[in-house]
Each structure stands twice: as structure tokens, then as C-alpha cells.
């Protein structure tokens, strides 16, 4: 029997009358690097919040390692504690995740909630700061950092807990090229290939680095799946799901005839 981290069947979630998820079904293997790809409003972020137990579907079923994930289950303190220890979410906007006075306090917050010994917390914070190359930010206020620095601190505040499953919502959005490259390198190396990493993104350029498999979303449903290379080269599919748009141009003089062809802009 396959070892699934998550299994979702016929999930429905609505904001007022608008369906964010419309009968969505999918499965995530343990240790898989999965990309949820789709245009804005396709349902990716809603699914991540459901996978993290922040919101719950109005209908459908979600399983986490063969256990049902429901609002009632989270009323059990034991289940809630273990789930929060095993699953971590990094939001698209780090400002909604960072609220402590210093970067050190930000990284220590999660372990404190999990009642780790204080000596272990200090050691783990220092080690995580070093591994994320943010030791120089240790005593800075998170809200005075650059966008790339905030994103690294937000990721570090989740990674310090060493979760089995890491959920990321647009981890490279609005970053400069250097910061984007650093974040991708962190994601590629994290966990030594043993962790389950689910990344919601509409950035096609980094798919082959961060994912082994892609699910393509449209209007709250999975409309295609495949390897990153397969997805990014299916231009008609990407056009239909509003991830790219065609631009026509003609070849320079010297050809027998002008020859229009699609040119993809991401």
C-alpha cells in the first residue's frame, strides 16, 4: 500500500458563494516534493491552509498518514500538538508570520510552544541561524528587514521545528534574483530528500529544481499532473490555465516568408 502523507477526496471550500476548491482530489506521497501550480485564485493557497489545519473543507475528506484531519480532531490536544509538530506552513507574506521583537525570539517561539528545554532551544536557534546564513540578523527586528531577509527568517522559524511536511506558499514571490536563488537552494538541500515538501507557486522557472511532480490547478480543481519538464513545455495547457500568454512575432528578413509563432512570457 502506498505511503501517503496526505490524501484529499472531493474537497469543497467556498468563500461566500465563490468556490475556492470545487471537488478537489489529490494525494501526496511521503518524501515527495510536490508543486501546486496555477494562476492566482486557482485554489492553491486555500488547499495549503486546509492541509495545515487552519481552515476545514465544507465537504470532502482529508487524511494525514491515514488519520482523518477534521476540526473535531484538533480539539484533541494530543492530536493538535503532534500535528503542529509534524507539519509547518510558510505564508506567502512573511509579515503575517513574524511578530516577535527579534529574529532570535522569532525562531525560539515555536520550540517554546512545544515546551523544549531552554538549553536545547538556544542551541537549535543558533544552529538554524547559521545554517540559514542569517546569524548577523540575530538581534534585529524582523519588521526592519528586507523582503528576502524576512522570507529567510519566516522559513527558518518553521524549519527549526524540523517538520516532516513543509508547506510553502509562493516562497520566491517578490524577491530579487539573488534572494530567490538563495531560497531555492535552501529548499533543494533541506531534509536531504527525506522530507515531504509541498510548494504552491505560479513561477514556472524554478519548477524543475523544487519539485519532482506538479499538479496544475484551475478553478479549484486539478486539471493536469506530471513531471515539471512535461508541464512547462505544454504551452497550450499553460495558456488555457492563464499561466502564460502567447506573443507573436515574425522572423527577420531573409526567410522565404514571415512565420508567426508563439513566444511564451512568464
Would you give the distance in Å from CA 19 to the centre of its chain? 21
Whether this model's pTM surpasses 0.75: yes
Which one has a higher pLDDT value, 30 or 250?
30
Percent of residues in the chain assigned helix, strand, coil, to nearest 5: 40, 30, 35
| Torsions phi, psi for 54 (to 5 deg) | -85, -35
pLDDT (tens digit, 9 = 90+) per residue, 36-89?
999 888 999 999 999 999 999 999 999 999 999 999 999 999 999 899 999 999
Gap between the Cα atoms of 21 and 158, Å rounded: 26
* CA neighbor of 54 nearest in space, from 22, 88, 26, 20: 88
Q: What is the dihedral of CA 190, 69, 54, 94, to 10 degrees?
A: 0
Q: Where are the alpha helices (DSSP H) in the chain?
A: 44-51, 77-86, 103-113, 118-131, 147-159, 177-189, 207-210, 228-232, 235-240
Spatial contact of 141 and 102, defined as CB atoms under 8 Å apart: yes
Q: Tell me the domains of the chain and their CATH numbers.
A: 4-233 (3.40.50.300), 235-266 (no CATH)
Spatial contact of 160 and 107, defined as CB atoms under 8 Å apart: yes
CB atoms under 10 Å from CB of 245, counted, come to 12
pLDDT (tens digit, 9 = 90+) per residue, 131-189?
888 999 999 999 999 988 999 999 999 999 999 999 999 988 878 888 888 888 888 87
Gap between the Cα atoms of 266 and 246, Å rounded: 10
Amino acid at each position: 500500500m502506498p505511503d501517503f502523507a496526505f490524501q484529499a477526496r472531493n474537497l469543497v471550500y467556498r468563500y461566500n458563494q465563490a468556490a475556492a476548491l470545487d471537488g478537489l482530489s489529490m494525494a501526496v506521497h511521503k518524501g515527495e516534493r510536490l508543486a501546486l501550480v496555477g494562476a492566482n485564485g486557482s485554489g492553491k493557497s486555500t488547499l495549503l491552509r486546509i492541509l495545515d489545519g487552519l481552515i476545514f473543507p465544507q465537504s470532502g475528506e482529508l487524511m494525514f498518514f491515514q488519520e482523518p484531519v477534521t476540526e473535531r480532531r484538533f480539539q484533541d490536544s494530543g492530536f493538535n500538538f503532534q500535528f503542529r509538530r509534524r507539519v509547518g506552513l510558510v505564508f506567502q507574506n512573511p509579515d503575517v508570520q513574524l511578530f516577535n521583537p527579534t529574529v532570535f525570539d522569532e525562531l525560539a517561539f515555536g520550540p517554546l510552544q512545544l515546551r523544549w528545554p531552554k538549553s536545547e532551544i538556544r542551541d537549535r536557534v543558533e544552529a538554524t541561524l547559521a545554517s540559514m546564513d542569517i546569524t548577523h540578523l540575530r538581534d534585529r527586528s524582523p519588521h526592519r528587514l528586507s523582503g528576502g531577509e524576512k522570507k529567510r527568517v519566516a522559513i527558518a522559524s518553521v524549519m527549526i521545528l524540523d517538520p516532516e511536511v513543509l508547506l510553502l506558499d509562493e516562497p520566491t514571490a517578490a524577491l530579487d534574483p539573488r534572494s530567490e536563488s538563495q531560497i531555492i537552494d535552501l529548499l533543494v538541500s533541506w531534509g536531504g530528500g527525506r522530507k515531504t515538501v509541498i510548494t504552491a507557486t505560479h513561477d514556472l522557472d524554478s519548477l524543475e529544481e523544487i519539485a519532482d511532480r506538479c499538479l496544475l490547478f484551475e478553478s479549484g480543481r486539478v486539471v493536469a499532473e506530471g513531471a515539471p519538464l512535461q508541464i512547462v513545455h505544454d504551452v497550450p495547457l499553460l495558456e488555457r490555465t492563464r499561466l502564460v500568454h502567447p506573443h507573436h512575432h515574425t522572423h527577420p528578413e531573409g526567410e522565404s516568408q514571415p512565420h508567426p509563432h508563439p513566444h511564451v512570457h512568464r
